[in-house]
Amino acid sequence: MPTDLDSRYGRTRQSAKRTRVIGWSAAGAFALVFAAWLIWAGVLVPAAQLDSRDVGHQIVDDTLVDVSYEVTVDPGTEVSCAIQAMNSSFSVVGWKIVALPSSNTRTRVLTDSVRTSELATTGLIYRCWLT
């Protein structure tokens, strides 16, 4: 009697084998799609390391500040940086985006001038990113 019930409700050896094959096939397809996504998204590829820090600033006059900064990135990598000048109440009074071409050196110290709308009290890097 149990074999009659098993065959009646689809619990035979063939259906169990078919269920296993479908399960393993689905798991394999998922693993394949997931691996393809990891490669496409660049998760498995090591990203270039980027580090930047402020070195100093010099107030030239009421409308100009020179900002010195250091950028460390893998040689041959292009970088862009946003540089800002701020006044005594920490309002942004000058802003400049600088595109840095690739270089053979890993660490570079650069100085750029930022035009301001009023007297700035400081100049610094806002953010750098890979381009």
77 CB-contact burial (10 Å; exposed 0-12 / middle 13-18 / buried 19+):
middle
Report whether pLDDT(15) > 90.
Answer: no
DSSP, residue by residue, 75-105: TT--EEEEEEEE-TTS-EEEEEEEEEPP-SS
Q: For 47-89, what is each residue's pLDDT tens digit?
A: 668 999 999 999 999 999 999 999 999 999 999 999 999 999 9
CA distance 27 to 52: 44
The model's pTM: 0.64
Instruction: Quote the tokens at residue 121.
Output: 């009290």
Instruction: Quote the tokens at residue 17.
Output: 């084998």
Report whether pLDDT(44) > 90.
Answer: no
